[in-house]
Structure 1
Amino acid sequence: MTIQWYPGHMAKTKRKIQEDLKLIDVVIELLDARIPISSKNPEIDSLIKGKPKVILLNKSDMSDPRSNELWGHYYDENKQDYIYTNSITGKGIKELITAIEKKMAHVIERDLKKGRINRQIKCMILGIPNVGKSTLINTMAGRASAKTGNLPGVTRSNQWIKVSQRILLLDTPGILWPKFEDPIVGLKLAWIGSIKETIYDREDAALKLISFLRESYEHCLIERYNIDINPSDEDIDIYEKIAQKRGFIQKGGNIDYSRTAEMLLDELKKTKIGKISFENP
């Protein structure tokens, strides 16, 4: 299964970001902690052209703590500023504001010497669709400043939001890149909800999810769905065992594959299967 999704407004957004970057002091790159590689737009680093950057690993409450630790070591070794965040609870926001001010401390000090005492720090938040940008901004600002939604691509226009006395944040719509070179990238983006549901085969995505979980989190499948998994079982066998346990059987005794797929993908999204990470450094 190959998934590609690049709506026309994303190309327009990319051009607008390039224009707005002239105004920006610090870039905040928001990644999904479950897939820090696949949720990183490979075009962003070339777009920002060396501007100071802080990486936020959002939804870190949904990812595997062991994986979070590995990513922490990775970013430390590469001397990259990173913060684990939870856009709903506000975890990591104080650390983010501190990191932004630290990166701009020398500029603020220079401006003070020139008599400019109220210099504001202008930041831009960048990330793929449905990674939690608007929710994070709302939490930072303490009010519903940016429209939020659980569908990829809700934010369509740029807006400035005041998040502290000194910091202004420019929200931008989520942008993907024109082509996923590796098919598994599109699949992982679909699993976390960054791809529009109507453009890919949900049953195929669910079957591939079972294959991944069987290899890396088999205990989660066994515990969540109260099934036995035998070495001889094919992925489809496990799929059908889950369906039978949930009673997803159509008239005539046939498995309701569609309903099972929707349940699996929904329970993954709600962390009911467990805290799952799909990538390690």
Structure 2
Amino acid sequence: MSTALVVRPALPNPTSWYPGHMTRLTRMLPMHLSRTHVVLEVRDCRMPLTTVNRQFDETLRRWKIDRGRDPLTTLPRFDTGMACEHYVVLNKRDLMPSWGVEPLRHALRNLAPFRPTFFTSTSTMSEVKELRNALVNVAKRHPHIPELNVLVLGMPNVGKSSLLNALRTVGIQGRTAKALQTSAQPGRTRSISTPLKLNVSPPVYAYDTPGLMVPFLGHGETGAERGAKFALMSGLKEGLYDIHNIASYLLYKLNSLNPESPAYLPLIPRDAEPTNDVDELLALIAKKHNMLRTGGVLDVDRAANLFVNWWRDTGALPPDSGAALPTLPSASNPQITGWGFDFQWELAPHEINSAGDPLLIQAKMEECIVKHWQQEQKDESEGSNLSLRQQRKRSIAEKSLKRQKLIQ
């Protein structure tokens, strides 16, 4: 299958999902931050840019300024004696190839040195312990604080509750029951949790919050793809997207990342070839797994669910070779590769032999991050990140402000 044939499928317009408990959290967030010492902003490692919620930015910036901190450096503006740390946690790291972790860590350190980043997986307790130790160290640096309060923020289904349960397990000696209920579907947590003890001495407590989605996913193809990504990672309410649309987008991404040997090959018969046709793929999956309806008809609906849930559960990583860098054929044409569903880059012919160089990967990741930031800033300045209703409300507010200035 040629890379020229890998084209993005037609995707439905994104469906907004912003229930009332998300609105309440947005309004009450400044109040909760007033008694918070550390913010853990949890993102999904498979989509570390898509799961950035810009709604947090201004509120957290004001929180830092009020605590005497410069939001863009690690240096204090003046000493208030109050702890004020904002950590980014890229969760579900075990669902990503390990070869991209260190390049991304260094890329984020270069571009945002004022915001420490941790990679975590609830299946790897050493990473959870590293984050727990960072929280304990903050508490030790501020011994006058009776207890360190940690607020956990993030989009739906990025693993906030599971991460807190893991932090509790490594921080409290002896057997500990799971303190927070978790679910594979978004929206399980609908209010701020009661304090969850993560460490005894010094005392560290955490508060879980509902997953906060953005009110509007975007216009055109950009919004459609963003919606497909959230649906794929179970970040949206089940039923908002047809499973075949999700499967179609997943097929496109896997073929884009490795058209010669896509990750789904173990799901189809050995003699089958990679395909760009989702109907053909689902028929092959149903055939291999003997998914039949009455009358011997292939059950492509079950096949679509198997395909999507396979990615959600495994990240499309083979159990014994998740760290392997995809091999690229030697060619005179540029090649496309990437890491996860947010980092995709083109390799010029002279770069193909160095495709596995961590410094080259880091540079490509930094280009992706900067391009993403620039596009978000452009969308914000043009108002294209707002729905038509939000644009009208902004226009009315701006006109009202101008009239007030004229009157004064």
220, 223, 229: which one pairs with 2:273? 229
Tell me: CA distance 1:216–1:81, structure 2 relative to 1, closer, same or farther (3 Å): same
52, 56, 71: which one pairs with 2:104? 71
Whole-Å separation in 2 of the counterparts to 1:71 and 1:215: 20
Fraction of identical pairs, as percent: 26
Matching of residues 171-250 of structure 1 within 5 Å: 171-181=208-218, 182-217=223-258, 218-227=261-270, 228-229=272-273, 234-250=277-293
Structure 1 runs (4+) deviating above 6 angstroms are none
Higher mean alpha-carbon deviation, 31-40 vs 256-265, is at 256-265
Task: Give the corresponding residue for 2:52.
Answer: 40
Which ranges in structure 2 are unaligned for 5 or more consecutive residues? 1-11, 65-83, 170-175, 323-338, 344-364, 366-408
Tell me: CA distance 1:60–1:230, structure 2 relative to 1, closer, same or farther (3 Å): closer
Task: Give the corresponding residue for 2:190.
Answer: 156
Deviation by residue 1:224-260 (Cα, 9 ceiling, x = unmatched): 32353257x5343333322322233445564422111
For residue 123 of structure 1, give the secondary structure of its aligned residue in structure 2.
strand
Task: Give the corresponding residue for 2:362.
Answer: none
Task: Give the corresponding residue for 2:7.
Answer: none
Whole-Å separation in 1 of the counterparts to 2:225 and 2:252: 13
Matching of residues 1-281 of structure 1 within 5 Å: 1=12, 2-49=14-61, 50=64, 51-78=84-111, 79=113, 80-102=115-137, 108=142, 116=144, 119-142=146-169, 143=176, 144-158=178-192, 159-164=194-199, 165=201, 166-181=203-218, 182-217=223-258, 218-227=261-270, 228-229=272-273, 234-251=277-294, 254-271=297-314, 273-274=316-317, 277-280=340-343, 281=365
> How far is the alpha carbon of 1:9 from its aligned partner?
1.4
TM-score (normalizing by structure 1): 0.86
Q: Cα RMSD over matched residues? A: 2.4
* Code of the aligned partner of 2:342: E
Whole-Å separation in 2 of the counterparts to 1:132 and 1:91: 17
TM-score (normalizing by structure 2): 0.61
Whole-Å separation in 2 of the counterparts to 1:5 and 1:66: 34
Tell me: CA distance 1:36–1:230, structure 2 relative to 1, closer, same or farther (3 Å): closer
Contact 1:224–1:273 (Cα < 8 Å) also in 2: no
Higher mean alpha-carbon deviation, 157-166 vs 90-99, is at 90-99
Structure number with larger C-alpha Rg: 2
Whole-Å separation in 2 of the counterparts to 1:87 and 1:18: 29
Q: How many residue pairs were aligned?
A: 272
Which ranges in structure 1 are unaligned for 5 or more consecutive residues? none
